[in-house]
Amino acid sequence: MTKSPNQSFIAKQLDLAPGTVSRALRHDPGIHPDTRERVIKLAKKLGYALRPRVKNITESEASYLGVLVQTPEVNWAQTRYLVGISEAAAKLNAWLTVHYVGFRDCPSVLNPTRQPPAMRDGRIKGICLIHRWPQEVIEQLTRHYACVSIVHFYPSLSVDLIDMNHRSGMDQLIDHLYSLGHRKIGFFGHSTGLSWSRARFAGYIEAFAKLGLPINPRWIIPLESEEFEERMMPDSALQDVIRLVQQQDVRAWTAANEWSAHVLVNHFTKAGLRVPEDVSVTGFDNTEIVSEARMPLTTITVSLSEIGAATIKRLRHRLTHPDEPQQSILFSCSLVPGKSTGPLKNSAAR
């Protein structure tokens, strides 16, 4: 060879991602032994300068971190969080225990007979929380563990928060709709039990105030937190939206999240309203892959894997600085223009 091989060349030869090759050469945990062996064998054959292998951390020396996921089902959002969580844990030589539980069964994590073994044995010292957990369960957990929450905020408890900037995201959506000529803009999915819905609603109010638009309480459609979490959309909420479109000409709707936005699009279509010709709809967080989705949404996106990685880093920091005040770290988000929004036209009726 005329030049020294690099990691990209090795990755191409083995049909692997360059990041996988890099981690294998660093002997990072989380790489399958067979993959590491293939990488190192080829690197030696090609004359790649290998770094000396660092001492493997033993199980007794490792940090044990728990990840508690409150969910009725595995979804794309939590998968992306876990990508960042696992990569950050590998770099920090931390062992992860991931435990899934439905909302109604959340108190089970306080029962030693139903806890993951590492939690029951006292090896876990810190916990990452994904999605909303009952207040009384978090109160008990914080007595024994350092806790960091992804997205859901527990203001009265000693739980750090890693989140996205909901207010900024909603401001971008309202500005986008305003630029298309919309002045009557509804908010679909205000839920007082979900901190992310409250924050997005606050952004909605702030954006209206900034633009000098009047706020009509009738344009705000509430949903219960359980309806979001269990994916149960009440017909009454959808009927209210249709009436507002037809009777008050509310021709643009900001949905609290991606799922509720897709439900709105489908319901408008069934009611004979075209999206975006007759009514515009925006989502939020760009996390849903919906099999029945009719179109790509105009929405807000954020790096969920970066949020996951920051959660692990914050948890390790919290373990070594237990007396620091509660911290909230917000990631910036950006607008993703889709096909669900369009210019305001004269009539919403077909």
First to last CA, the chain: 69
**8 Å CB contact between 341 and 94:** no
Q: What is the pLDDT of residue 203?
A: 98
Task: Please indicate, yes or no, if residue 53 is contained in any of the structural domains.
Answer: no
**Together in a domain, 236 and 297:** yes
> Hey, what's the torsion of the CAs at 319, 323, 324, 326, to 10 degrees?
90
User: What DSSP designation does 145 have?
Assistant: S
Portion of the chain with pLDDT greater than 70, in percent: 88
Whether residue 214 is found in the same domain as residue 321: no
292 and 217 inside one domain = yes
pLDDT of residue 55: 42
Give the helix/strand (H/E) hosting 314: helix 304-320
Q: Is the pLDDT of residue 348 over 90?
A: no
CA 28 to chain centre: 26
Task: Please tell me the predicted confidence (pLDDT) of residue 234.
Answer: 95
Cβ neighbours for 314, distance < 8 A, ≥ 6 positions apart: 148, 160, 162, 327, 329
Q: Does 349 or 122 have the greater pLDDT score?
A: 122
Closest CA to 222 of 256, 189, 180, 182: 189
For 228, the domain range is: 166-302
CB atoms inside a 10 Å sphere around CB 108: 14
Phi then psi for residue 342, to 5 deg, are -155, 175
The number of folded domains in the chain is: 3
pLDDT at residue 293 tops 70:
no
- In-domain check, residue 145: yes
- 208 shares a domain with 133: no
Is-contact 223 256, C-beta < 8 A? yes
Residues 6-48 have pLDDT tens digits of 888 888 888 888 778 887 777 665 567 678 788 888 888 887 7
Contact between 312 and 129 (Cβ < 8 Å): no
What are the structure tokens assigned to 175, written together?
């500005």
pLDDT-wise least confident of 17-26, 54-63, 69-78, 310-319: 54-63
Question: If you average pLDDT over residues 106-120, what whole number do you get?
Answer: 92
More confident residue, 347 or 331: 331
Specify the DSSP class assigned to residue 208.
H
Against a cut of 0.85, is the pTM above it?
A: no
Same domain, 146 and 267: no
Q: What is the pLDDT of residue 59?
A: 42
In a shared domain, residues 272 and 288: yes
Domain check: are 130 and 174 in the same one?
no
- Output the pLDDT for position 290: 53
Which comes out higher in pLDDT, residue 132 or 8? 132
b/e string for 232-254 if b means 16 or more Cβ within 10 A? ebeeebbebbbebbeeeebbbbb
The CA distance from 63 to 107, in Å, is 25
What element of type H or E holds 299? strand 299-301
Looking at residue 69, what is its pLDDT? 92
Q: Which amino acid is residue 103, in one-letter code?
A: F
Asked if 91 and 179 sit in the same domain, the reply is: no
Assess whether 191 and 170 both reside in one domain.
yes
Q: What per-residue confidence (pLDDT) applies to 164?
A: 96
- Give the chain's mean pLDDT: 87
